């Protein structure tokens, strides 16, 4: 044990049962400091010393990481806790017994380089570094001055052409073992439902008679909404109802997409349909098509059909307009048709100068054509089925 001064105030630094303590004694008198130190050691021996008084800066990272996980368990969702646990393991392997106060920006950059060399995505490495910073903040230590890795802009979800979309759903409907994935895909492609929203659906949330569906749980507050169902989505709901009747699992409180394996349990949602989706997309000749791209497909088709953005945000559960632009994509056929329609309108105006002049007198734009001509020239073939 030892006494030392910091800004004319006495502090103590001692260890009890392998646990090191460093705490202020709140006195400037040396004799009082000795007495307070003995009292602190006695409280630590009896286990009465407040955990807040324990120093965090001298803890090994592995110990601090275990304490962090213990505190977080039960305070956050189970899925979040498991994700943090998995992200913490590479940090523990790298920093190990290194004291928290000894972790520098260079150490963090070395960790980032190791993760990059191992082929980890920069976003994943950034999440790990943020978790490291959370452990340091818990110990009331300053965060080293370092930069997160630059994350390349991800590609937007692939948008299918009408023929590809039709073929995908024809293949999905061809096998009974793909039924759940097929119905889920119909709900996403026609109502933009997220996978988590589909899994959370209960029969009490569905009104097939009036073509409505209430989303009770989503990844954001804006995701909790009422969604109208078109004919394809109603067909998916009817198919799932027939399946529930066949299995004897229908009840208002039961899940629409309920657990099947290892035993049928309609009181619990299914984990997903990943295996079936991978199989059917391979069979459809679209091996790299992500399931989530169907949500982008839905938004893109609504935009191409001229649905107002405000209405689309209400349907898909977005608040930020930037997110709407991110999910949407204009297909190549639509863009080509737009510029070709512009060229055709210009050529028509040149061949009919009298009509062009008349159009200018009536307030049309210079060049002899207006937006109505351009819009009417768009071929209907580019619109989704």
> Each residue's pLDDT tens digit in the chain (385 positions)?
578 887 788 888 888 877 777 788 889 898 999 999 999 888 888 877 765 444 566 788 999 999 899 888 888 888 789 899 999 999 999 999 999 989 999 999 999 999 999 999 999 999 999 999 999 988 878 888 889 999 887 665 578 888 999 999 999 999 999 999 999 999 999 999 999 999 999 999 999 888 999 999 888 788 889 999 999 999 999 999 999 999 999 999 999 999 998 899 999 999 999 999 999 999 999 998 999 899 989 988 888 888 888 898 889 888 677 777 766 666 656 667 777 777 777 777 777 665 545 555 555 444 443 434 433 433 333 333 3
Q: Is residue 147 part of a domain?
A: no
Question: Considering the entire predicted model, what is its pTM?
Answer: 0.57
Cα–Cα distance between 165 and 169 in angstroms, integer?
6
- Domain match, 42 and 68 both: no
Say what the pLDDT of residue 2 is. 79
Q: Is residue 291 part of a domain?
A: yes
Cα–Cα distance between 182 and 178 in angstroms, integer?
6
- Domain match, 182 and 308 both: yes
- Domain match, 132 and 180 both: no
Say what the pLDDT of residue 141 is. 83
Number of domains in the chain: 4
Cα–Cα distance between 282 and 272 in angstroms, integer?
18
Q: Is residue 113 part of a domain?
A: yes
Say what the pLDDT of residue 318 is. 81
Q: Is residue 153 part of a domain?
A: no
- Domain match, 303 and 180 both: yes
Q: Is residue 194 part of a domain?
A: yes
- Give the residue numbers spanning the domain of 322: 162-327
Say what the pLDDT of residue 342 is. 74
- Domain match, 49 and 80 both: no
- Domain match, 353 and 322 both: no
- Domain match, 197 and 307 both: yes
Say what the pLDDT of residue 282 is. 95
Q: Find all residues with CB under 8 Å of 228, minimum gap 6, and list them.
A: 191, 211, 212, 213, 315
- Domain match, 312 and 172 both: yes
- Domain match, 313 and 246 both: yes
- Domain match, 175 and 246 both: yes
Q: Is 328 exposed, middle or buried (0-12, 13-18, 19+ CB in 10 A)?
A: buried
Say what the pLDDT of residue 87 is. 94
Say what the pLDDT of residue 242 is. 94
- Domain match, 75 and 196 both: no
Prior bond of 257 cis (ω within 30°): no
């Amino acid at each position: 044990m030892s006494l030392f001064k910091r800004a004319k105030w006495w502090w103590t630094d001692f260890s009890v049962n392998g646990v090191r303590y460093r705490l202020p004694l709140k006195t400037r008198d040396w004799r009082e400091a000795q007495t307070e130190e003995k009292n602190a050691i006695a409280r630590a021996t009896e286990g009465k010393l407040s955990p807040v008084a324990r120093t965090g800066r001298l803890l090994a990272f592995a110990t601090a990481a275990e304490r962090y996980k213990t505190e977080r368990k039960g305070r956050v969702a189970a899925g979040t806790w498991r994700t943090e646990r998995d992200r913490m393991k590479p940090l523990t392997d790298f920093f190990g017994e290194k004291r928290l106060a000894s972790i520098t920006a260079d150490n963090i950059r070395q960790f980032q380089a190791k993760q990059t060399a191992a082929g980890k995505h920069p976003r994943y490495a950034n999440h790990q570094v943020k978790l490291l910073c959370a452990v340091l903040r818990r110990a009331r230590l300053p965060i080293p001055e370092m930069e997160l890795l630059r994350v390349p802009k991800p590609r937007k979800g692939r948008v299918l052409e009408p023929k590809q979309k039709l073929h995908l759903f024809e293949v999905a409907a061809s096998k009974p073992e793909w039924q759940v994935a097929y119905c889920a895909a119909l709900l996403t492609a026609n109502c933009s439902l997220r996978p988590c929203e589909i899994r959370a659906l209960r029969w009490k949330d569905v009104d097939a008679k009036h073509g409505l569906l209430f989303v009770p749980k989503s990844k954001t507050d804006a995701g909790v909404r009422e969604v109208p169902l078109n004919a394809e989505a109603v067909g998916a709901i009817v198919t799932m109802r027939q399946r529930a009747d066949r299995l004897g699992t229908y009840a208002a409180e039961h899940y629409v997409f309920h657990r099947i394996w290892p035993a049928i349990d309609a009181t619990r949602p299914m984990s997903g349909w990943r295996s079936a989706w991978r199989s059917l997309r391979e069979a459809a000749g679209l091996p790299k098509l992500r399931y989530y791209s169907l949500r982008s497909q839905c938004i893109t088709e609504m935009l191409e059909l001229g649905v107002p953005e405000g209405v689309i945000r209400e349907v898909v559960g977005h608040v930020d307009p930037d997110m709407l632009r991110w999910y949407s994509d204009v297909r190549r056929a639509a863009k080509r048709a737009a510029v070709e329609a512009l060229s055709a309108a210009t050529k028509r105006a040149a061949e009919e100068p009298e009509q062009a002049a008349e159009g200018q007198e009536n307030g049309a734009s210079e060049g002899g054509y207006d937006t109505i001509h351009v819009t009417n020239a768009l071929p209907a073939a580019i619109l989704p089925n």
